[in-house]
Amino acid sequence: MSAQQPMNPSRRRFLGSVSRAAAGGAAVSLLGAPAILHADAPKARVVVVGGGYGGAIAAKYLKLADPELRVTLIERNPVYVSCPLSNEVLSGERNMESLTFDYRGLSRRGIAVMGDEIVEIDPEQRFVRGKGGAVYNYDKLILSPGVSFDFSSIDGMSAELADSTLPHAWKAGPQTLLLRRQLEAMPDGGVCAIVAPPNPFRCPPGPYERAAQIALYFSHHKPKSKVMIYDAKDAFSKQGLFQAAWKEHYGDMIEWVPAAAGGNIEAIDADSMTLVGPVEDFEADVINLIPPQRAAELAVNNGLVDDSGWCPVNQQTFESTLHSDIYVIGDAAMAGAMPKSGYAANSQGKVCAMAVAAAINGQPAPAPSYVNTCYSILAPDHGISVAGVYELKDGEIVSVPGAGGLSAADADARTRAIEVQFAIGWYRNITADMFT
Amino acid sequence: MTTRCPTPERRLSQRLRQTTAARWRPRLPSQAWLLAMLLAGFALGAQAEGVRSAAMLSHTCAGCHGTDGASAGAAMPTIAGMDKGYLVKVLEDYKDDVRPSTIMGRIMRGYSDQEIAAIASFFADRPWVSTERPIDGELAYQGELIHQQRCESCHADGGRGQDARSPRLAGQWGPYIQYALETCRARGESCKKRQGAERVMVLEDAEIQALAHYYESQK
């Protein structure tokens, strides 16, 4: 996916005018959507950078909270490809088209959707600058930039290798398809190794759902093959439910090697397809190395992260504690007890949008409410979930005691099958919430 | 002015009177000032306790039930425009584990009864949105026959009628209705308390499928 893909003509025309205006040194006014052409003096300009599970929602709910706001959503890709459910592409249960969305629905809501990659933030002059030089002024800026990968922490690994031979596929897109092709090309009896990252990282149950989806493919087409998970951790999300389901559906096909058993991968030799652990080395036919993560480069390069590599934010509003009038939501932000998940980003986008609208209208920040719901599909008739309900306590996002938790360990087959239907319903609704 | 059993709001307003009012007293008639500070005290008290608005609470539901409760399908029901009393009852039953669920019980235990009432009001006030899917006329007709015979007395007007005991069914997602009926039937005894449950118990798989399709066909 790249910014060079064709855009619709009106967007291209508009970008041209922005670039010309920027080149001429003129102040850039963003008249991206017909709905705001007549609005000479908007109440306030809110720029949202990143059109995924957090940013698309923040833009939409800003407009719902206050239709008079001029909302601009800046996204570098012309279409969005969903990470949630993309593991099903690996098993062949789903295609990429079903994961792909455009921004026309948000444009129809009066949001100016701009195809651009933001490379610079000026928190003093309050503007962001795109790769081509276009300048976007803001009164409030919301960033939902996602994660970046720390390739250097694993010796021998690089971004280039991820694109060519060792896909992480942790941002759905070309690498998802590359990994699928590698699995298809692998001989029966081969080994697919998943290297699972240390906490915190995007989608905590993701590597373990992926193991099941790959095993689902193997069980139909390459039954003598194995899925090995080499983990930087000694425990993982929904662990008991995962391990029981792996055994039930795939027998001994999936094997998990925790850090304590030498699973913490320190280096990789791409030529010999060998993973180097602290105790022993492991060879594999397909390697899906999911690197350690931190906030996206945009946040790192513009002074929005602390020593942890993530963005510290006010937990009630998601305003950065490092720069005022800049808000960070989604995986890049540190949000107390909330995991880095799509539903968490959705929930944070709404809390942030309401806080920004309140601030612009001179009102106090509203009392927040947050929820997370994550489904994992382990077989066509076996779904599991984790839910969390959160509240603000002493300035921190904490779980509401007694609420949330996992699917029952002893649930019957009918319940497991229904949870797959709910996972698909979750996906249909959360993407409709974002893009319509 | 009383000092008995001060509520938090009252304590706060008293503190405000003791501090701020002392400074400003000469500028306002005392009675008007007392009233103003009482109002300010209540407002501040509410904020400090963090009362969450109905919209703030309800937006967290949209990720699964659709924006403003209009579901994009298919196992997730539309909850917009439902009877408020029905929504309160269902959500409280989830919370108290009276109504079994895969996930709703886990979520509803995070909310107070007042918050549940606020959420129910929010969705009851949203417009109902019927599904727009192709309908199999023959299957819907089979369902209509069953409906007229066994369901119309409570789910009146082809499932468009609703009250605190009977949800709207017309235009609801068929797969959700099918799942809800099958769940009730599978639970047997523990579902029988619910209105109409005896009639659900005797339905065949094909009848449930036809009924669910009929209700979805009604807009």
pLDDT tens digits, one per residue of A226-283 = 999 999 999 999 999 999 999 999 999 999 999 999 999 999 999 999 999 999 999 9
Question: Are both B123 and B64 inside the same structural domain?
Answer: yes
What residue type is B65 in one-letter code? H
* pLDDT greater than 90 at residue B194: no
> Is residue B52 a contact partner of residue B63, using CB atoms and an 8 Å limit?
no
Nearest to B56 among A369, A421, A426 (CB): A369
> Is residue A85 a contact partner of residue A100, using CB atoms and an 8 Å limit?
no
Categorize the per-residue pLDDT at B26 as very low, low, confident or very high, splitting at 50, 70 and 90. Answer: very low
User: Where is pLDDT greater, at A12 or A96?
Assistant: A96
> Does A351 reach chain B within 8 Å, measured CB to CB?
yes
Question: Are both B171 and B216 inside the same structural domain?
Answer: yes
Residues sharing a CB contact under 8 Å with residue B24, sequence separation 6 or more, in sequence order: B33
Residue B19 falls within a domain, yes or no? yes
Task: Encode pLDDT of B158-183 as tens digits.
Answer: 999 999 999 999 999 999 999 999 99
Question: Are both B140 and B190 inside the same structural domain?
Answer: yes
- Chain B, nearest residue to A342 by Cα: B63
Question: Are both B216 and B149 inside the same structural domain?
Answer: yes
b/e A284-308 (16+ beta carbons within 10 angstroms → b):
bbbbbbbbbbbbbebbbebebbeee
Using the beta-carbon criterion (under 8 Å), do A428 and B67 form an inter-chain contact?
A: no
Using the beta-carbon criterion (under 8 Å), do A389 and B111 form an inter-chain contact?
A: yes
Q: Which of A352, A412, A429, A431 to mutate to test the interface with B (most CBs of B within 10 A)?
A: A429
- What is the CATH classification number for the domain harbouring B80? 1.10.760.10
Using the beta-carbon criterion (under 8 Å), do A404 and B110 form an inter-chain contact?
A: yes
Taking each helix axis as running N to C, give the angle between helix B30-49 and helix B8-16, from 0 to 180 degrees, rounded to the nearest 10.
130
Which class for A365: exposed (0-12), middle (13-18), buried (19 or more C-beta within 10 A)?
middle
Kind and range of the H or E run holding A312: strand A311-312
Question: Are both B43 and B58 inside the same structural domain?
Answer: no
* pLDDT greater than 60 at residue A32: no
Q: Which of B129, B154, B175 is the last residue of a domain?
A: B129
Structure tokens at A429: 């609704």
Query: What percent of chain A is predicted at pLDDT more than 90?
Result: 90
Q: Provide mean pLDDT across the span A407-426.
A: 97
- Chain A, nearest residue to B94 by Cα: A403
Q: C-alpha B56: how far from its chain's center?
A: 14
d(CA A252, CA A327): 46
Question: Are both B205 and B176 inside the same structural domain?
Answer: yes
What residue type is A176 in one-letter code? T
The pLDDT assigned to A245 comes to: 98
Residue B1 falls within a domain, yes or no? no
Torsion angle of the four alpha carbons A352, A355, A361, A367, in this order, in degrees rounded to the nearest 10? 160
Q: Which of A109, A369, A390 to mutate to test the interface with B (most CBs of B within 10 A)?
A: A369
Peptide bond into A67 cis (omega under 30): no
Using the beta-carbon criterion (under 8 Å), do A343 and B52 form an inter-chain contact?
A: no
d(CA A35, CA A404): 41
Using the beta-carbon criterion (under 8 Å), do B67 and A366 form an inter-chain contact?
A: no
Using the beta-carbon criterion (under 8 Å), do A392 and B109 form an inter-chain contact?
A: no
Categorize the per-residue pLDDT at A40 as very low, low, confident or very high, splitting at 50, 70 and 90. Answer: low
Categorize the per-residue pLDDT at B24 as very low, low, confident or very high, splitting at 50, 70 and 90. Answer: very low
The pLDDT assigned to B210 comes to: 98
Residue B3 falls within a domain, yes or no? no
Give the ranges where A44-169 is alpha helix by DSSP (H): 55-65, 87-91, 104-108, 159-164
Using the beta-carbon criterion (under 8 Å), do A369 and B60 form an inter-chain contact?
A: yes
Residues in chain B: 219
Question: Are both B63 and B115 inside the same structural domain?
Answer: yes
| CA angle (B23 as vertex; B19, B27 as ends), nearest 5 | 130
Nearest to A405 among B65, B106, B175 (CB): B106
Residue B30 structural domain: 8-49
Q: Which residues of B touch A415 (CB under 8 A)?
A: 102
d(CA A240, CA A126): 48
Residue B15 falls within a domain, yes or no? yes
The pLDDT assigned to A4 comes to: 42
Nearest to A369 among B57, B66, B72 (CB): B57
Using the beta-carbon criterion (under 8 Å), do A418 and B75 form an inter-chain contact?
A: yes
Q: What is the pTM of this model?
A: 0.87
* pLDDT greater than 60 at residue A379: yes
Query: Are A9-146+296-366 and A153-292 the same fold in CATH?
Result: yes
Q: Which of B129, B155, B170 is the last residue of a domain?
A: B129
Nearest to B56 among A354, A389, A428 (CB): A354
Residue B144 falls within a domain, yes or no? yes
Categorize the per-residue pLDDT at A7 as very low, low, confident or very high, splitting at 50, 70 and 90. Answer: very low
Kind and range of the H or E run holding A254: strand A254-257
Which class for B215: exposed (0-12), middle (13-18), buried (19 or more C-beta within 10 A)?
buried
Question: Are both B147 and B205 inside the same structural domain?
Answer: yes
DSSP A27: P
Residues sharing a CB contact under 8 Å with residue B213, sequence separation 6 or more, in sequence order: B135, B136, B139, B140, B143, B174
Using the beta-carbon criterion (under 8 Å), do A373 and B64 form an inter-chain contact?
A: yes
> Over chain B, what is the mean pLDDT?
83
For domain A9-146+296-366, is the CATH number 3.50.50.60?
yes
> Does A368 reach chain B within 8 Å, measured CB to CB?
yes
Q: Which of A203-207, A220-224, A340-344, B190-194 has the lowest mean pLDDT?
A: B190-194
Categorize the per-residue pLDDT at B187 as very low, low, confident or very high, splitting at 50, 70 and 90. Answer: confident
Task: Encode pLDDT of A123-133 as tens digits.
Answer: 999 999 999 99
Reduced to 3 states, what is the DSSP secondary structure of residue A182? Answer: helix
- Chain B, nearest residue to A369 by Cα: B57
Question: Are both B125 and B101 inside the same structural domain?
Answer: yes
Residue B195 Cα, gap to closest chain A Cα (Å): 24
Residue extents of the structural domains in chain A: 9-146+296-366, 153-292
Using the beta-carbon criterion (under 8 Å), do A428 and B50 form an inter-chain contact?
A: no
Residues sharing a CB contact under 8 Å with residue A252, sequence separation 6 or more, in sequence order: none
Structure tokens at A225: 């093959």
> Does A222 reach chain B within 8 Å, measured CB to CB?
no
Question: Are both B98 and B125 inside the same structural domain?
Answer: yes
CA distances from A249 to A70, A379, A426 (A): 51, 7, 24
Using the beta-carbon criterion (under 8 Å), do A404 and B67 form an inter-chain contact?
A: no
The pLDDT assigned to B59 comes to: 98
Categorize the per-residue pLDDT at B42 as very low, low, confident or very high, splitting at 50, 70 and 90. Answer: very low
Q: Provide mean pLDDT across the span B191-198.
A: 82
Nearest to A429 among B63, B107, B186 (CB): B63
* pLDDT greater than 60 at residue B20: no
* CATH placement of domain A153-292: 3.50.50.60
The pLDDT assigned to B189 comes to: 82
Question: Are both B93 and B151 inside the same structural domain?
Answer: no
Split into its structural domains, chain B has a count of 3
> Is residue A253 a contact partner of residue A215, using CB atoms and an 8 Å limit?
yes
Question: Are both B40 and B59 inside the same structural domain?
Answer: no
CA nearest neighbour of A263 among A169, A170, A166, A198: A198
Residue B147 falls within a domain, yes or no? yes
The pLDDT assigned to A343 comes to: 98
Q: Which residues of B touch A405 (CB under 8 A)?
A: 106
Using the beta-carbon criterion (under 8 Å), do B72 and A426 form an inter-chain contact?
A: no
Task: Encode pLDDT of A97-156 as tens digits.
Answer: 999 999 999 999 999 999 999 999 999 999 999 999 999 999 999 999 999 999 999 999
Instruction: Look up the ipTM and state it.
Output: 0.88
Residue B25 falls within a domain, yes or no? yes
Q: Which of B96, B129, B162 is the last residue of a domain?
A: B129
* pLDDT greater than 70 at residue A363: yes
The pLDDT assigned to B214 comes to: 98
Reduced to 3 states, what is the DSSP secondary structure of residue A25? Answer: coil
Task: Encode pLDDT of B89-109 as tens digits.
Answer: 999 999 999 898 999 999 999
The pLDDT assigned to B196 comes to: 85
Using the beta-carbon criterion (under 8 Å), do A422 and B52 form an inter-chain contact?
A: no
The pLDDT assigned to B190 comes to: 80
Using the beta-carbon criterion (under 8 Å), do A368 and B107 form an inter-chain contact?
A: no
d(CA B87, CA B77): 12
Residue B60 Cα, gap to closest chain A Cα (Å): 6
> Over chain A, what is the mean pLDDT?
92
> Does A101 reach chain B within 8 Å, measured CB to CB?
no
Residue found by looking up tokens 């920040």 in the block: A365
CA nearest neighbour of A406 among A381, A379, A423, A384: A384
Q: Provide mean pLDDT across the span A363-370.
A: 97
- Chain B, nearest residue to A405 by Cα: B106
> Is residue B131 a contact partner of residue B168, using CB atoms and an 8 Å limit?
no
Residue B2 falls within a domain, yes or no? no
Using the beta-carbon criterion (under 8 Å), do B50 and A371 form an inter-chain contact?
A: no
